């Protein structure tokens, strides 16, 4: 008799477990801490689509990462790709904030507002999730992000700092470098070259001079220090390199001790473009940046009057 009661109780437990799982969908993650886990060595591509942006992919080819959006195919920067893969290696959560589809928009994990990320390992889709709004956790004073697995209703809280390493735009994975100089590189001369004139700046015993006129050396040094590490965000992908010679506007040439050869930043001007200036450096010769007169261009070619000593 006792055995009969045990069998009935066991059967009732099985039925309860069945309906519990059925109620909460294919994968009930309420008590699972790991949401996403990836073998980064096996990742073959990552597809990212943010609201208002064109979908783009990072594709691994012959050990290198190619960034493509269907129109452009360029080499991706190693650092942001590495940060992306590290962020996707293991994503954990400690909290489920919603199990109702009606709350997706509240947390920004609906299709219209979320950034969708698809991860492929050896060509097979293994992860598909949506990143929603960011918020501040009052208890820990840390940033959090809301996340939803694409085929599930539940909304989870994940580490916002970790998710911040997932670049959501095409340009997030591009080489933004214009010029970077090592500490031991000592700049002792530079030129501003135009098609019709050249200004030669030199550093001597009396400090910086231009055509024999002593300049405000502090102002010159402040200008040059910007070139220790200078990058840009506005890319000029529409610039036609075949027309570059006809649109040459100015060139900055930097010379000095422990500098191999020279460093150059070349500026082209095209009145038909907005903004009109396009810049490229000898250190990153395949990437063109755009600027107006007050942006990157103004930093590289400021008014020469700013170098003269105040009387």
DSSP notation for 51-66: TTS--EEEEEETTEEE
Phi/psi at 144 (nearest 5 deg)? -125, 160
Q: Give Cβ neighbours of residue 293 (< 8 Å, ≥ 6 apart).
A: 277
pLDDT at 311: 58
Relative to beta strand 43-49, strand 248-257 is unpaired
Q: Give the pLDDT of residue 4.
A: 55
Q: Which of 275, 282, 69 is nearest to 172 (CA)?
A: 69
Q: Could you read off the pLDDT tens digit of each residue along the chain, which spans 311 residues?
A: 445 554 444 445 444 434 433 333 334 444 579 999 999 999 999 999 999 999 999 999 999 999 999 999 999 999 999 999 999 999 999 899 999 999 999 999 999 999 999 999 999 999 999 999 999 988 888 999 999 999 999 999 999 999 999 999 999 999 999 999 999 999 999 999 999 999 999 999 989 999 989 999 999 999 999 999 999 999 999 898 888 889 999 999 999 999 989 999 999 999 889 999 999 999 999 999 999 999 999 999 999 999 998 75
Cβ 134 vs Cβ 109: under 8 Å: no
83 secondary structure, DSSP code: H
Predicted model pTM: 0.77
Per-residue pLDDT, 309: 83
Q: How far apart are CA 90 and CA 33, in angstroms?
A: 10
User: For the chain, what are the domain ranges?
Assistant: 29-173, 177-307
Phi, psi of 294, deg, nearest 5: -100, -10
Predicted confidence at residue 258, as pLDDT, reads 94
Residue 164 DSSP label: T
* Cα R_g (the chain), whole angstroms: 28
């Amino acid at each position: 008799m006792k055995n009969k009661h045990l069998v009935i109780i066991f059967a009732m437990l099985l039925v309860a477990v069945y309906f519990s799982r059925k109620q909460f969908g294919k994968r009930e993650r309420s008590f699972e801490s790991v949401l996403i886990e990836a073998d980064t060595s096996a990742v073959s591509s990552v597809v990212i689509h943010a609201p208002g942006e064109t979908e783009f992919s990072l594709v691994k080819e012959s050990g290198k990462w190619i960034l493509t959006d269907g129109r452009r195919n360029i080499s991706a920067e190693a650092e942001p790709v590495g940060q992306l893969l590290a962020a996707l290696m293991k994503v954990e959560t400690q909290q489920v904030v919603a199990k109702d589809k009606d709350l997706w928009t509240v947390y920004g994990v609906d299709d219209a507002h979320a950034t969708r990320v698809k991860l492929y390992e050896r060509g097979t889709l293994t992860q598909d999730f949506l990143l929603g709004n960011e918020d501040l956790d009052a208890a820990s004073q840390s940033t959090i992000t809301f996340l939803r697995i694409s085929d599930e209703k539940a909304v989870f809280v994940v580490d916002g700092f970790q998710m911040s390493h997932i670049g959501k735009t095409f340009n997030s994975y591009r080489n933004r470098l214009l010029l970077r100089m090592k500490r031991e590189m000592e700049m002792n001369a530079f030129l501003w070259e135009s098609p019709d004139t050249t200004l030669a700046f030199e550093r001597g015993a009396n400090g910086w001079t231009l055509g024999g006129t002593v300049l405000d050396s502090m102002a010159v040094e402040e200008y040059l220090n910007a070139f220790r590490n200078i990058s840009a965000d506005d890319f000029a992908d529409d610039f036609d390199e075949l027309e570059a010679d006809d649109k040459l506007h100015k060139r900055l040439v930097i010379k000095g001790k422990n500098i191999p050869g020279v460093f150059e930043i070349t500026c082209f001007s095209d009145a038909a473009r907005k903004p009109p200036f396009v810049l490229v450096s000898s250190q990153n010769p395949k990437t063109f940046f755009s600027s107006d007169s007050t942006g990157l261009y103004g930093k590289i070619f400021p008014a020469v009057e700013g170098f003269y000593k105040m009387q």
